[in-house]
């Protein structure tokens, strides 16, 4: 009788504790069944997405081709940046200085879009920033002017220069303005 009483007290107590804890911790069997069902649903979705369709149109082929472009385009773009840096260092340096003005939040958004596009679901925490200061913008602009001054300037045909300078009704072309700056000792960066 004492054994029966202990089994009832202990057994009932264990059941009561398990019933009270389950809503907070979850049932492992139900959790595993849910994960299994979710995985099967994903596999079925992938199977339907990649299966050969019988009624395939030119539009389906076009969209599938567009979906395959981003990865190779990004890889070739990165290689292109290295080629650009080698072929036109002055132009690349000017562009890099302009990229320095892009606020950090915009880089984070770009990274999140690329990360999301390629399937990674990790989000990076970002700190608040107000963008570049006036001093930073001025420093970048000064650097760009110095870089532009390094770019070789071909002299303008003297007859063309004289013609454009004499014509008061037509605005000067960029080449003539640069030539005027060169002749008068300005750095050519307006």
* Domain-located, residue 74: yes
- Calculate mean pLDDT across residues 136-161: 82
| Angle at which helices 158-166 and 174-183 cross, to 10° | 100
Give SS3 for 183.
helix
What is residue 149's predicted lDDT score, i.e. its pLDDT? 77
* Residue-range definition of the domain harbouring residue 96: 70-128
Evaluate whether residue 79 is within a structural domain: yes
Question: Where does the pLDDT of residue 32 fall: very low under 50, low under 70, confident under 90, or very high at 90 and above?
Answer: confident
Is residue 87 a part of any domain in this protein?
Answer: yes
Bigger pLDDT: 187 vs 156 = 156
Strand blocks (E) in 12-122: none
Q: Does 123 reside within a domain?
A: yes
* More confident of the two residues 2 and 124: 2
pTM of the prediction? Answer: 0.38
Is 118 domain-assigned?
yes
CB atoms within 10 A of CB 156: 19
**Predicted pLDDT of residue 130:** 61
State the residue for tokens 């804890």. Answer: 21
Q: Which of 16-30, 58-72, 146-160 has the highest mean pLDDT?
A: 58-72
Q: What is the pLDDT of residue 188?
A: 45
163 within a domain of the structure (yes/no): no
The answer to whether residue 101 is domain-embedded is yes
Confidence of residue 48 (pLDDT cuts 50, 70, 90): confident
Split into its structural domains, the chain has a count of: 1
Angle, CA 91 vertex, CA 86 and CA 94 arms, to 5° = 120
Query: CA 151, 157, 162: angle at the middle one, nearest 5?
Result: 115
Q: Judge whether 53 lies within some domain.
A: no
Q: What pLDDT score was predicted for residue 6?
A: 52
State yes or no: pLDDT of 120 exceeds 60. Answer: no
Residue 132 has pLDDT above 70, yes or no: yes
Residue 94 burial (CB count, 10 A)? 20
């Amino acid at each position: 009788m004492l054994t029966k009483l202990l089994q009832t007290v202990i057994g009932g107590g264990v059941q009561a504790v398990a019933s009270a804890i389950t809503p907070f911790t979850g049932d492992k069997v139900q959790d595993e069944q849910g994960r299994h069902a979710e995985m099967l649903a994903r596999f079925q979705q992938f199977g339907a997405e990649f299966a050969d369709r019988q009624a395939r149109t030119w539009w389906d082929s076009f969209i599938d081709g567009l979906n395959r472009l981003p990865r190779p385009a990004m890889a070739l773009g990165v290689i292109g940046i290295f080629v650009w840096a080698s072929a036109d260092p002055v132009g690349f340096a000017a562009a890099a200085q302009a990229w320095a003005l892009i606020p950090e939040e915009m880089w984070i958004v770009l990274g999140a879009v690329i990360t999301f596009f390629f399937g990674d679901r990790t989000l990076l925490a970002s700190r608040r920033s107000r963008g570049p200061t006036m001093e930073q913008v001025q420093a970048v602009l000064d650097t760009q002017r110095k870089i532009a001054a390094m770019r070789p300037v071909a002299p303008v045909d003297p007859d063309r220069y004289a013609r454009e300078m004499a014509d008061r009704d037509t605005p000067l072309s960029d080449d003539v303005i640069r030539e005027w700056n060169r002749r008068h000792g300005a750095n050519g960066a307006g």
